[in-house]
Structure 1
Amino acid sequence: MKQLKGTLATMLDERKRLRSRSPLQLAIADRFSQLNVEQWRTVTAGQSLFYSTEYQRAFEQFRPANLEARYALISDGDTPLAAVCMQIARVDLTQVGNGKQKSAFQKLGSKVSQRVLVCGNLLVYGLHGVCFAPGADRELVWRAVTEVLYRVRRAEKLAGHTDMVLIKDLDDAAAAESRALEGLSYGSVPTEPNMVLTLDPAWRTHDDYLNSLTSKYRGDIKNRVFKKFNESGATIEAIADVASHAETLQRLYLDVHSNATLRPFTLPSAYWPGLASLGAGNVVIHVARQGDRVLGFIVSLKDGDTAFAYHIGFDREAANTGVPIYLRLLHASLAQAIAFGCRRVSFGRTALEPKARLGCTPEPLYVWARHRHPFLNQLLQPLLRFVENEEPPEFTPFKAAPSDAGAK
């Protein structure tokens, strides 16, 4: 009994410690310009483009209408330790189900709505919510992050309740570092994995990639993708003047986006030239053409050693005729990643099978979630454990390495 009391006291002390104010200093802003930009640069220098000052300023210009940005700097005295990127998303029933066929469920529209506070960036996959300065105590910073989220959520009561808080897209390492969030009533749930292709440093062209595949997979790509695509009279090209193509890109984006089961945001047409101007040569948009008709597009973005292949849009009517637009665009982005000199391509977490056939492997991602109402949060935690995600199929498209072959 004495030992039990000691254990209980230890647990209560730990809970009290976690729920006390952070010893670090917090600066929270509604607009990026309200923060100390030089301190932000100190933290984010040499890290992801999605943390950069340039991206934050651009986001405020081309953000989706239902997303609002919030920002924070976490410091120890005058020493910045972390930058925090947040978004408040207003979601309602018009964003659920097929966007082209209105159901009785959707007709309720904005009458059933929710405000969600997200630590991260809904526009891109991966952890882009917390950027740590080199040498920062990550466990201590994560505690400060939860205080930032608490303060922002409380302040948002003036604009309406923000019931749900999400910290999105943590990999295995970040999930382990932030484990203290369990003591603050956050629940962790795995999402669908990010499909990642590791690029061989020896590859200099797309042909090098093809030559690394077994004959079965190489022949399948050449015949089922490239041959069919070329026979349709379609071509692939990178566009230089994105602004003049913005409305076309938007139409193709909406053609795919409107069929998604869940649409937490809808990008505006200004997003495409805005994103392209951010990255200079590090953002390339490829389009598939059939004469003067644009059939589809994909965005390739270089972010350090990682290339993002995302924001794909295509003409569904043309795709239904048998033109492999989607698959050909994936290969265009893969070729661009090799040209960028990247070490990996992040293809995201949809269409798992065709990406697995490319040679991608799943990279686990997790989300921390918390509801403001204690009772509902207690219900949420066990429900999270029942969330099931699609398992990506396993393929072995690459030739065995010489050492592996010799060992057989």
Structure 2
Amino acid sequence: MENITFKIYSNINSLPENWDTVAASNHFLQKPYLNVLQHTAPVNMECFFIGIFDSLELIGVSIAQYINVDHLESFGERDHCLKTYVRNFVFKNFCSHVLFLGNNMITGENSFVFEKKVPAKLISKILIDCTQSLITYFKNKKIKIHIVTYKDFYKAFTKELKEYDFHSMYEFNTQPNMIFKLEEEWKNGNDYINALTKKYRDQYKRAHKKIEGITTSELTLEEIIHHEERIYELYHYVAVNAPFNTFFLSRNHFSFFKKQCGKRFKIFGYFKNEELIGFHTILLNENTLETYFLGYDETHQKEHMLYLNMLYNMTAFGIENNFKKIIFGRTALEIKSSIGAKPIEMSGFIFHTNYFINYLMPKIFSKLEPEVSWQQRHPFK
């Protein structure tokens, strides 16, 4: 592969015709989802789509995102402590222009895909070259990139990258990705419930009883549009109360997503006396069920254990529709482990374009990353 080149696009209408064929194994890198990013990206985000060629043949696709932290309404308001204030000050003043090679909006290996086997040495060089090209692009626009981040990689691939261009870059570990590998013998929700120990069957029964009187249904596009403001209100409540955020979705994100991805993207609404009090979303990604954003009314969440019931409902959907695993992401680790998800460590790489600050990156990053103390649960017999 001596004739490897890449091209960076800012508009999906310019992408090669066979883009989706190359990206066939990952819906998060296919045109329908990329169109969602292009048209409903957070206000502080700009997206780029990268085609990788062997001579004239497209062999791989990737994604990059620029985030302007200065335009962010909030970093997250849950944790009010000195460490949080220091973190926010540092981000505003020294890390306000961030470049991600990968997708900062979702968890998992969604940075790139190749239709043929490509050695890690070559992938490493491509990622670095794309980075430099984008830094130059922003420099020409009088924007200085402060931070560059590569995310998320499983440990085996991280080790390979460190043998090449990433060898001197700071490797960071954030909260693990909670992944639930579903057993083949489970054919329905009852099979799953019967596999639980008594303690966790009782937890399921308590949650199930709490949600009595709540109607759950998949929303059509028309219903999503009808409830758009309420959906955003519920999403925004959860997002702003998270420990840390670098973006907020646009108000029409969910309806546009549904228009683009159709049956692959589903929103389930939770109604009490015809009032929408919560929702969760999922994306059908080949044999993997990807959980996406959700929202709820805090008062009803406590009363009806909405969040836990959403996790159970997503699990039942995954089992009944023959998915092999569910990607639950890296929040609420303990409650997700209580339904069966297990923590899978993932890594990323990060560097600051200021040499002195980059030298201190190991110390700085450890001070900024929110600490999470949790106990892994083991719900099965």
TM-score (ref. length: structure 1) = 0.83
Q: Does 1:187 align with 2:136?
A: no
Larger radius of gyration: 1
Provide the residue aligned with 2:314 in structure 1: 333
Q: Is the 8 A contact 1:203 1:209 kept in 2?
A: yes
Between the aligned partners of 1:364 and 1:108, the Cα distance in structure 2 is 26
Of 21, 30, 41 in structure 1, the residue corresponding to residue 20 of structure 2 is 41
CA distance in 2, matches of 1:121, 1:216: 38
- Show the counterpart of 1:15: none
* Alignment match of 1:272 (pick from 245, 254, 264): 254
List gaps (5 residues or longer) in structure 2.
none
Aligned with residue 151 of structure 2, among 168, 172, 180: 168
Q: Distance in 2 between matches of 1:42 and 1:110?
A: 40
Q: Deviations over 1:107-131 (max 9, x none)?
A: 9997887110101112211121221
How far apart, in 1, do the equivalents of 2:339 and 2:200 lie? 9
Alpha-carbon deviations, 1:273-314, whole Å to 9, x = none?
A: 122233322222112111111111110211111111231100
Aligned-partner Cα distance in 2 for 1:138–1:196: 25
Aligned counterpart, 1:126:
108
What's the CA shift for 1:393? 1.9
- Offset of 1:32 from its aligned partner? 2.7
Which residue of the partner structure matches residue 274 of structure 2? 292
TM-aligned CA deviation for residue 50 of structure 1: 0.4
* Structure 1 residue aligned with 2:343: 362
Return the alpha-carbon distance in structure 2 between the equivalents of residues 68 and 214 of structure 1. 47
Contact 2:128 2:165 in 1 (8 A): no
Which SS does the other structure have where 1:308 is aligned? Answer: strand
Specify which of 293, 306, 311 is matched with residue 288 of structure 2. 306
Give the SS at the match of 2:211.
helix
Among 25, 29, 32, the alignment partner of 2:9 is 29
Shift of 1:51: 0.7
Taking the aligned partners of 2:341 and 2:53, their CA distance within structure 1 comes to: 38
Q: Distance in 2 between matches of 1:148 and 1:252?
A: 37
Aligned with 1:261 (options 226, 243, 251): 243
How many Å apart are 1:29 and its aligned residue? 2.1
Q: Deviations over 1:320-377 (max 9, x none)?
A: 4x22111111111111212332111111111111111101110111111011122221
Q: Does 1:209 align with 2:192?
A: yes
The answer to which of 84-93 and 377-386 deviates more is: 377-386
The alignment-based identity, stated in percent, is 24
For 1:190 and 1:134, locate their aligned partners in 2 and report how far apart those are by CA, in whole Å: 28
Confirm or deny that 1:50 pairs with 2:28: yes
Q: Distance in 2 between matches of 1:113 and 1:374?
A: 14
Query: Which AA in structure 1 matches 2:44?
Result: N
Distance of aligned partners of 1:32 and 1:138 in 2 relative to their CA distance in 1, 3 Å threshold: farther
- Render the CA deviation track for 1:32-72: whole Å, top value 9, x for unaligned: 3334232x234212x11001122212321111111101122
Q: Distance in 2 between matches of 1:31 and 1:289?
A: 38
Identify if the C-alpha distance between structure 1 residues 100 and 366 changes in structure 2 by more than 3 Å, giving closer, same or farther: closer
Q: Which residue number corresponds to residue 305 of structure 2?
A: 324
| Map of 1:8 onto structure 2 | none
Per the alignment, residue 353 of structure 2 pairs with: 372
Contact 1:191 1:389 in 2 (8 A): no
**Larger relative contact order (CA 8 Å, sep ≥ 6):** 2
SS at match of 1:196: strand
Partner amino acid, structure 2, of 1:147: D
The 5 Å alignment of 1:110-121 reads 114-121=96-103
Cα distance per residue 1:359-398 (max 9 Å; x no partner) = 1110111111011122221111454467575354232211
| Contact 1:288/1:296 (<8 A) preserved | yes
**Secondary structure in structure 2 of the residue aligned to 1:37:** coil
Q: Distance in 2 between matches of 1:257 and 1:239?
A: 21
Distance 1:371 1:332, change over 3 A: same
Contact 1:296-1:315 within 8 A present in 2 as well: yes
Amino acid at match of 2:20: R
Paired with 1:97 and 1:307, the residues of 2 have a C-alpha distance of 27
Equivalent residue, structure 1, for 2:130: 148
Aligned ranges for residues 384-399 of structure 1 at < 5 Å?
Answer: 384=365, 389-390=371-372, 392-399=374-381
Secondary structure of 1:127's aligned partner = coil
SS at match of 2:69: strand
What residue identity is the alignment partner of 1:236?
T
Which is worse superposed, 347-356 or 239-248? 239-248
Amino acid aligned to 1:95 = S
**Cα deviation 1:51-98 (Å, max 9, x = unaligned):** 112221232111111110112222221233321200001113742242
Summarize the Cα distance change of 1:107–1:372 in structure 2 as closer, same or farther, 3 Å threshold.
Answer: closer
Aligned residues: CA RMSD: 2.7
Residue 68 of structure 2: aligned partner: 90
Find the aligned partners of 2:43 and 2:166 in 1 and give their Cα distance: 35
Aligned residues: 371
TM-score, L = length of structure 2:
0.89
Which sits farther off after the overlay, 386-395 or 153-162? Answer: 386-395
Cα distance in structure 1, aligned partners of 2:155 and 2:95: 32
193-202 vs 333-342, greater mean Cα deviation = 333-342
Does the aligned pair in 2 maintain the 1:300–1:310 contact within 8 Å?
yes
Could you list the runs of 5+ residues in structure 1 that have no partner in the other structure? Answer: 1-21, 400-408
Deviation at 1:272, TM superposition (A): 0.7
